[in-house]
Copies of this chain bind each other. A is one copy, B any other.
Amino acid sequence: MNKSVSEAVIKRLPKYYKHLKELEISGLTKVSSGKLAEMLNITASQVRQDFCNFGGFGQQGYGYDVGRLRTEIANILGLNRTYNMIIIGAGNIGRALASYKGFVNEGFSIMALFDVVTNDKRVTDNIPLYPMEELENYVNNNQVDIAIIATQRESAQEVANRLSELGVTNYWNFAPVELKLDNKCIVENVYLSESLNVLSYRMNNN
C-alpha cells in the first residue's frame, strides 16, 4: 500500500503526528488544514495534498477531528503495535538511547544491549547488557523487530551482516556509515556529524 507516497510526505507524517498530540493535550478537538500548515511551515493546500495520499481523512467544514486524525496517522506510522528493539554498542550513544524514556510511550521498547565489553557497570535501568557472543542465541530466541546500530564505524557493517543473517530486517543506524544490506532490509540513519556540518555550513553561508 501507499507505494507512491513521496519521501517528503513520509518525513512530514511524524511532524503531523507530533503536532496533533500537542493539540489533543491542549484540549482542541477540531483543526483546520490552515492551522496544521502553519504548524509545519507549509501551505494548507500542501496539507490537503499530503492527506490525499491516505484517503483525505474526511475534512469537514470545520476542519479535521483532532483525535481521529491523530489515531489515523498513528496507524499509518505503525504506532498501533509494539516493537522490540536491541542496541548493539554500549558506548555513549547506545547507553543514552537505552536510558531514554521517550520512545517507550509510543510502543518502542529496548530489550537488551550488546557490546564486546560487558564489565562496564554504568548500565542502565534494568536493561541487560550481553557480550557480542550472545547475539545469535538471543536473536534466535527472542522477537527482535528493530536493531539499533550504535557501534564504532569500523564494526557497524559486520554487526549488521550478522543480524541480517539472523533474519533481522529493520535497522536504526547511528554509526557514520551507509550499511549495505539486502533489499528487503529497511535502514533509517541518524548521522549526527552530518547534521552538525549542515549547521556549520549555515553559520558560514547565511
Listed in ascending order, the chain A residues whose CB lies under 8 Å from chain B are 1-2, 5, 10-11, 13-15, 17-18, 76-79, 83, 92-93, 95-97, 99-100, 102-103, 106, 108, 122, 145-146, 170, 172, 176, 186, 188, 190-206
Contacts and interface: CB of A to CB of B under 8 A. Distances in A.
A147 to B, nearest CB: 11
B95 A198 contact: no
A122 B2 CA distance: 46
Given A122-B122, A176-B102, A197-B77, A14 B203 contact: no
A103 B195 CA distance: 11
Given A13-B201, A79-B200, A93-B96, 14 more contacts: A5-B205, A18-B176, A76-B205, A83-B200, A92-B99, A96-B96, A100-B192, A102-B176, A103-B193, A103-B196, A170-B199, A172-B199, A186-B199, A188-B196
Main secondary structure of the interface of A (DSSP, over half): helix
A36 to B, nearest CB: 13
B204 A78 contact: yes
Given A102-B176, A198-B188, A201-B76, A193 B122 contact: no
27 contacts: A2-B205, A10-B201, A10-B202, A14-B191, A14-B197, A14-B198, A18-B176, A18-B194, A76-B201, A77-B201, A78-B200, A79-B200, A92-B96, A92-B100, A100-B192, A103-B192, A103-B196, A106-B193, A108-B196, A145-B203, A172-B199, A186-B199, A186-B206, A188-B195, A188-B196, A188-B202, A190-B195
